[in-house]
Structure 1
Amino acid sequence: METKNILFEITDGIALVTVNRPESLNALNSQVLGELECTLYEIEHDSEAQVVIITGAGEKAFVAGADIKEMAAMTAYEGHRFALQGQRVMLFIEKMTKPVIAAVNGYALGGGLELALACDIIYASENARVGFPEVTLGIIPGFGGTQNLSRLIGPNKARELVFSGRMIPAQKALAWGIVNEVFPRAELAGKVMDLAREIAKNGLLGVGYAKNAIVNGLNMVKEDGFRYESSLFGVLFATEDQKEGMGAFVEKRKAVFKGK
């Protein structure tokens, strides 16, 4: 699949996806969202890809937000459709069976922060800035930001960030629990790749089921989440990976998982 605004490659099981509009600080418009969705769909169904990394091109931004030039002329109907398109992409990332890591290498604002929040893990560079500036434009986050942020850090801090429209630095985002780790910019790509390789060594069926349990369990009452977890736990005992993983442990050797 050829794309104009999305670059991706798969190396040693790691799929690297780059939003490639540095002249627009990688802003998300309808075309970019469509290309990103198609790329991720292809990766989801590619058995070679085990872990996904999403980042932005250039020196300044991960994704600086949705494309204001495109949004400015939208009608209410068009705005609604645009929000639904963005939400569809974010929900697809959340539902992917493969873990997704956001490498936030600069500004992650509005739709960019929403993209990062849809990922399973967020590593950020020290120069990163995150926020939801939508209220300064007379709108609100529309790609799931109000929902994902409040679930991640609680409604009080989410309200503060969304209502103020302010940007916060990477270290504060770390303190608030928005990002997992912060690194010097020159080290970010290497640290993200190290994490991806560490995850890829594990049984990817198990990792995928664990992601499933976490994502879906958040929408259940605790007791239902426990039952859901136990059902997934049981299913994994019918897999080759479980036999290989436990067999390798007993035999004191390195497991070789096949995703079956």
Structure 2
Amino acid sequence: MSVEEQAPSVSWQEETVPGGDTSVAWLTLSNPRRHNALTLEMYDQLHRACEEIDAACDVRVTVLRGAGGRAFAAGTDIREFRGFTGRDGVEYERRVGSAVERLAALRMPVVAAVEGPAVGGGLALTVSCDIVVCTPDSVFGAPIARTLGNCLSPTVIARLHASLGRARTQHALLTAQLISAQEAHEAGLVAQITDAEGLDAHLAGLTARIAGCAPLTLAALKEADRRVISASAPGTADDLYELCYGSRDFREGVSAFLDKRPPEWEGR
């Protein structure tokens, strides 16, 4: 069975660092036929995978990447949104938020290896990682104001402000534009841009270097960073989720996306 024919999934495997007794967890998002867009089951699988990785004592660093080399993750699979109500939107954001926050809470550093688009939910996952490396063709963003008419969580926006700066974040979100790899690197979201041919070698060197550092120090640095981000995130946004996901505009956005036509916004 080819990669494209496999069922959407999130899986991980442990690989020993050469010359040492520590390991790297390779965490893969796989839905290649839909540019690795995540289903709700994939978000649940991600949460479970993070629990398993945290329990694997030898793992010193995790790498998150998309299968197939053409996309990191193109958001959530839009078919999941058929028939959504406002309350469904609230539950969806809680379910997705639980997976994203579990990724961010991994005790060891997490590297996002981005190839191609990291948009919507893929962007939320990217900014929840500690180090981002990408290929030159990568793009980042959440063009939901143009495509679906839903919203982002305050925590994701806080992480975007910390990674890109408020001006770039607001410009990208309010104009529904994507950010290039070069702009993301200049802003500070991306640590390194690497050609696709050299990505695996770069990841091998990076993970080996991280795996050789003091694990408790790395865990403390991660937790300190998490607390800084949490201090700027104003908690729940259930009212905003219900407003957007329960709207006629959101239903129109989903229908238009699936019909491959421009949406007609009404503001209600």
Amino acid at match of 1:166: Q
Residue 103 of structure 1 contacts residue 189 of structure 1 at CA under 8 Å; is this kept in 2?
no
Residue 155 of structure 2 contacts residue 230 of structure 2 at CA under 8 Å; is this kept in 1?
no
In 2, Cα distance between equivalents of 1:59 and 1:97: 27
In the other structure, the counterpart of 1:189 is 200
1:167 aligns with 2:141: no
In the other structure, the counterpart of 2:44 is 34
Q: How many corresponding residue pairs? A: 219
Aligned pairs for 1:151-166 within 5 A = 151-166=162-177
Residue 21 of structure 1 contacts residue 27 of structure 1 at CA under 8 Å; is this kept in 2?
yes
SS in 1 for 2:84: coil
Larger relative contact order (C-alpha < 8 A, sep ≥ 6)?
A: 2
Q: Which runs of 5+ in 2 are unaligned?
A: 1-6, 17-22, 233-268
Residue 111 of structure 1 contacts residue 141 of structure 1 at CA under 8 Å; is this kept in 2?
no
Q: Which runs of 5+ in 1 are unaligned?
A: 222-260
In the other structure, the counterpart of 1:147 is 158
Q: Structure 1 residue 153: deviation in Å?
A: 2.4
In 2, Cα distance between equivalents of 1:173 and 1:154: 10
In the other structure, the counterpart of 1:7 is 11
In 2, Cα distance between equivalents of 1:145 and 1:134: 14
1:199 aligns with 2:210: yes
- My pick for the range that moved more, 151-160 or 46-55, is 151-160
TM-score, structure 2 normalization: 0.77
In the other structure, the counterpart of 1:25 is 35
Which of 64, 75, 92 is 2:85 aligned to? 75
After superposition, the C-alpha distances for 1:171-230 in whole angstroms (9 at most, x for unaligned) are: 111112221111111112221221111000111111111211222144459xxxxxxxxx
In the other structure, the counterpart of 1:122 is 132
After superposition, the C-alpha distances for 1:52-79 in whole angstroms (9 at most, x for unaligned) are: 0000011321001111111242111111
SS in 2 for 1:118: coil
Amino acid at match of 2:11: L
After superposition, the C-alpha distances for 1:1-43 in whole angstroms (9 at most, x for unaligned) are: xx96023110110000110110111111210000011011100
TM-score, structure 1 normalization: 0.79
Aligned alpha-carbon RMSD (Å): 1.8
In 2, Cα distance between equivalents of 1:109 and 1:140: 13
Which of 65, 82, 95 is 1:85 aligned to? 95
SS in 2 for 1:50: strand
Q: 1:143 to 1:21 in 2, by over 3 A?
A: farther
Which structure 1 residue ranges, 4+ long, deviate > 2 Å from structure 2? 141-145, 151-154, 217-221
SS in 2 for 1:61: coil
In the other structure, the counterpart of 2:113 is 103
Which of 46, 61, 64 is 1:54 aligned to? 64
In 2, Cα distance between equivalents of 1:146 and 1:219: 11
Q: 1:143 to 1:102 in 2, by over 3 A?
A: farther
Q: Structure 1 residue 155: deviation in Å?
A: 1.7
SS in 2 for 1:42: helix
Q: Which has the larger radius of gyration?
A: 1
In 2, Cα distance between equivalents of 1:56 and 1:88: 20
Aligned pairs for 1:245-260 within 5 A = none
Q: 1:143 to 1:192 in 2, by over 3 A?
A: farther
1:209 aligns with 2:220: yes
